[in-house]
Amino acid sequence: NAGVTQTPKFRILKIGQSMTLQCTQDMNHNYMYWYRQDPGMGLKLIYYSVGAGITDKGEVPNGYNVSRSTTEDFPLRLELAAPSQTSVYFCASSYLAIPEAFFGQGTRLTVV
């Protein structure tokens, strides 16, 4: 019963490097989300998807890209890492009929 799985759990990037944060859910949820949580702050929505092939911007999309080729996977891409992207990233999923978001364990990303 995996739920929402994020990898990696921790990562250190150098400025200008690229990386992809992976997110997979096995609950057949149609909605998936990426949030970032800065120290002492709430979660801010980066991107979300309402189904395979459909993505949309949230509050803070700049510097990120996403894709949703399957129901299960929703990777988040950082193309040119910047110190401002140092944060904890959470992936979540939900189902229209069940108004509750299920979260992964988070990825702590540090850009130096």
Partner 1 sequence: AQTVTQSQPEMSVQEAETVTLSCTYDTSESNYYLFWYKQPPSRQMILVIRQEAYKQQNATENRFSVNFQKAAKSFSLKISDSQLGDTAMYFCAFMKQTNNNDMRFGAGTRLTVKP
What are the C-alpha distances in Å from 28 to residues 10, 42, 76? 26, 27, 19
CB of 15 or CB of 98, closer to partner 1: 98
Q: Measuring CA to CA, how many Å separate 50 from each of 30, 36, 77?
A: 6, 19, 18
Under the binding rule (CB under 8 A), the answer on residue 43 touching partner 1 is yes
**Which residues, 55 to 94, sit near partner 1 by CB under 8 A?**
56, 58-59, 88, 90, 92, 94
* C-alpha span between 76 and 74 (Å, rounded): 7
Q: How far is the CB of 30 from partner 1 (least distance, A)?
A: 9
What residue ranges bind partner 1 (CB under 8 A)? 31, 33, 35, 40-45, 48, 50, 56, 58-59, 88, 90, 92, 94, 96, 99-101, 103, 105-106
